[in-house]
Amino acid sequence: MLTTDPCILVIFGASGDLASRKLVPAMYEMHVAGQLHPSTVILGVSRTQKSDDAWRDELKSWVERQVKKFDAAKYAEFARRLFYFAGDAVKRECYPPLEARLAELAEEKGTRGNLLFFLSVAESLYEPIVERIDEAGLVVEGKRWCSIDPSTRSWQRIIVEKPFGHDAASAASLNRALGRAFEEEAIYRIDHYLGKELVQSMLVLRFGNSIFEPVWNWQYIDHVQITAAETVSVGQRTAFYDETGAIRDMIQSHLFQVLAFVAMEPPSLYTPENVRAEKIKIIDSISVPTADEVATHCALGQFASDGKEGAYHELAGVAQGSTTETYAAIKVHFDNWRWAGTPFYIRTGKKLAQKRTEVVVQFKPPAANLFRKVAGFGNETPNRLVIEIAPKERFNLRFEVKVPGFGLRGANVDMQLDYADHFKAEPVEAYGPLIVDAMRGDQTLFKHRVEVEGAWNAVMPFLDARSAAARAGIRANYAVGSWGPAAADELLARDGRAWRNEP
Ligand code: BG6
């Protein structure tokens, strides 16, 4: 088993939704799985006054609700790792007592000065908190003479949650602010989609086999669809969502990560440097649409009322006349050799027909149809590989076979690998393995500064004034429980294609 260093995981925004719903339950799962160093502890920082025990009790019901297998005895064990510190992390006066508490815990638990900060706060607080951490002198790595033996050095790392900027300029500014306090090697820009089992498995499928890679290009692949459909609404966060929209919330972040894994070149070796370098290259080769292309390369929508909840534009917290999209479909091309002429269609939306996250790789038909004169043959559809990421974790490969019996008749069959059936493994909360990777110093599944800025550059035309035509008339243009606006179907129909909507 891989080992991690002992450390203090300092969660800023400990009273927030992310910490309670995802981060702490994920750490509980990692504790149960034996992935945490015995000395590792978690210090939650938030403004509300409460004791360590009060925080532990509060989290117990969250963990119980969120994890698949809750065990009270294991929770009691895990709770001994939880500590709480009340303070306002943007204020300077928070730091001397916080530093003292960290030193005390380090001494008592033996965490060797290793600190892993997690920014689980509003995006506007990222820069001030990073500045305060730096001013307080909490980051010593890379800032003082270090011993030659790395095992005797302490490390300080930071995990930054999305939204990572609001546009290309703000992302660059945040990167500069982080860079003033931390080395790039110590910055972990997290994206929970990279913690998903089937997203990671995509690299193994492509590069751990010899049969896929030779056909994984424009010559054999007609197009790729990436879908992240949700049935949920925007919830309590209307104000945040109205500033964000589906392109920022899902496409620039999560779905570009999936896109990168589907489209990137093979790294020469599975190391953080090599994998990240290939991701930077593929994101950089996205063809940025021109003003004219924006209208034909994207379809945007807002959900209508379903009788229970109002239409998106009627919700409290949504600006009057808002053109923020709750649905987006875009067409992406790469300016590179492998994908010349192969479009990638990406779609996501709220209140759609099904919760479904998947990648569809649609192959071209065989070069020649030698069965064209066989009576009863002719219904053949080209090969298709569907990688279902959630809620099911499955690979489905469709191909043509002969129907048994007399005569020659073809049929499409799906060969399926279901992770739950085959491996009998329960999926864990995606944050857990990623945070453990950060504790190990493994940046493979985290985004590099250059990649984030590249992803913003690629989506900016869909967000700025150039997208005005696509935004006109988006209000209530799709029914709740549907697969999105008609414009999204037209986007593919214009290319002679259709979305995979079948169950
Ligand atoms: C979050 C978005 O990052 O991802 C949410 O802010 C979205 O709007 C969520 O619902 C989707 O994550 P998952 O893992 O459920 O696909």
Backbone angles phi, psi at 476, to 5 degrees: 50, 35
Closest C-alpha residue for ligand 1 atom 13? 193
The residue segments making up the domain with residue 445 are 196-493
Residues 330 and 447 both lie in one domain: yes
Closest C-alpha residue for ligand 1 atom 15? 230
User: Looking at residue 327, what is its pLDDT?
Assistant: 98
- Which residues, at least 6 apart from 100, have a Cβ–Cβ distance to it below 8 Å? none
Q: Does residue 357's CB lie within 6 angstroms of at least one atom of ligand 1?
A: yes
Q: Does residue 244's CB lie within 6 angstroms of at least one atom of ligand 1?
A: no
- By percentage, how much of the chain surpasses pLDDT 90? 86
Contact call for residues 321 and 201 (beta carbons, < 8 A): no
**Residue that terminates a domain, selected from 165, 190, 215:** 190
Q: Which atom of ligand 1 is nearest to the CA of 230?
A: 10
Question: Does residue 336 sit within a domain?
Answer: yes
Q: Which atom of ligand 1 is nearest to the CA of 232?
A: 10
Whole-number Å distance between alpha carbons of 429 and 23: 9
pLDDT digits over 426-473, tens only?
A: 778 999 999 999 999 999 999 999 999 999 999 999 999 889 988 999
Residues 308 and 386 both lie in one domain: yes
Question: Does residue 500 sit within a domain?
Answer: no
pLDDT at 330 over 90: yes
Average pLDDT across the chain, whole number: 94
Mean pLDDT along residues 493-503: 94
pLDDT digits over 12-54, tens only?
A: 999 999 999 999 999 999 999 999 999 999 999 999 999 999 9
Domains: count for the chain: 2
Closest C-alpha residue for ligand 1 atom 9? 250
Question: Does residue 1 sit within a domain?
Answer: no
Question: Does residue 64 sit within a domain?
Answer: yes
User: Looking at residue 368, what is its pLDDT?
Assistant: 86
Whole-number Å distance between alpha carbons of 490 and 470: 13
Whole-number Å distance between alpha carbons of 464 and 442: 35
Q: Does residue 123's CB lie within 6 angstroms of at least one atom of ligand 1?
A: no
Q: Does residue 249's CB lie within 6 angstroms of at least one atom of ligand 1?
A: yes
Residues 100 and 172 both lie in one domain: yes
Cα–ligand 1 centroid distance for 249 (angstroms):
8
Backbone angles phi, psi at 223, to 5 degrees: -165, 170
Question: Does residue 501 sit within a domain?
Answer: no
Residues 52 and 144 both lie in one domain: yes
Residue 379's pLDDT band (cuts 50, 70, 90): low
Cα–ligand 1 centroid distance for 218 (angstroms):
31
User: Looking at residue 236, what is its pLDDT?
Assistant: 87
DSSP conformational letter for 374: S
Contact call for residues 100 and 93 (beta carbons, < 8 A): no
Whole-number Å distance between alpha carbons of 409 and 430: 45
Instruction: Note the pTM of the prediction, 2 decimals.
Output: 0.94
Q: Does residue 230's CB lie within 6 angstroms of at least one atom of ligand 1?
A: yes
Residues 131 and 216 both lie in one domain: no
Cα–ligand 1 centroid distance for 390 (angstroms):
12
Cα–ligand 1 centroid distance for 222 (angstroms):
29
Contact call for residues 50 and 89 (beta carbons, < 8 A): no
| Cα–Cα separations (whole angstroms), residue 133 to 42, 182, 447 | 17, 10, 22
Single out the catalytic residue among 37, 254, 313, 333: 254
Alpha-carbon torsion, ordered 274, 198, 254, 217, to 10 deg: 60
Cα–ligand 1 centroid distance for 411 (angstroms):
37
DSSP conformational letter for 247: I
Cα–ligand 1 centroid distance for 262 (angstroms):
20
Residue 325's pLDDT band (cuts 50, 70, 90): very high
Residues 183 and 260 both lie in one domain: no
User: Looking at residue 117, what is its pLDDT?
Assistant: 98
Burial class from Cβ neighbours inside 10 Å (0-12, 13-18, 19+) for residue 244 reads buried
Residues 331 and 409 both lie in one domain: yes
pLDDT digits over 145-196, tens only?
A: 455 555 568 899 999 999 899 999 999 999 999 999 999 999 999 999 999 9
Q: Does residue 233's CB lie within 6 angstroms of at least one atom of ligand 1?
A: no
CATH code, domain with 342: 3.30.360.10
Mean pLDDT along residues 227-238: 94
Closest C-alpha residue for ligand 1 atom 14? 193
Alpha-carbon 465 to chain mean position: 27
Whole-number Å distance between alpha carbons of 37 and 39: 5
Backbone angles phi, psi at 10, to 5 degrees: -100, 110
Question: Does residue 2 sit within a domain?
Answer: no
Whole-number Å distance between alpha carbons of 110 and 395: 44
Cα–ligand 1 centroid distance for 337 (angstroms):
33
Q: Which atom of ligand 1 is nearest to the CA of 254?
A: 3
pLDDT at 74 over 90: yes
Q: Best of 249, 251, 257, 347 to mutate for ligand 1, by most ligand atoms within 8 A of CB?
A: 249
User: Looking at residue 408, what is its pLDDT?
Assistant: 86
Active site residue 254: yes
Residues 157 and 256 both lie in one domain: no
User: Looking at residue 372, what is its pLDDT?
Assistant: 83
Residues 300 and 340 both lie in one domain: yes
DSSP conformational letter for 267: P
Closest C-alpha residue for ligand 1 atom 6? 249
Whole-number Å distance between alpha carbons of 82 and 41: 6
Residues 115 and 46 both lie in one domain: yes
CATH code, domain with 91: 3.40.50.720
**Residue that terminates a domain, selected from 170, 190, 210:** 190
Residues 84 and 222 both lie in one domain: no
User: Looking at residue 465, what is its pLDDT?
Assistant: 86
Strands 298-301 and 344-349: unpaired
**Residue that terminates a domain, selected from 143, 162, 190:** 190
User: Looking at residue 143, what is its pLDDT?
Assistant: 59
Question: Does residue 502 sit within a domain?
Answer: no
Residues 184 and 200 both lie in one domain: no
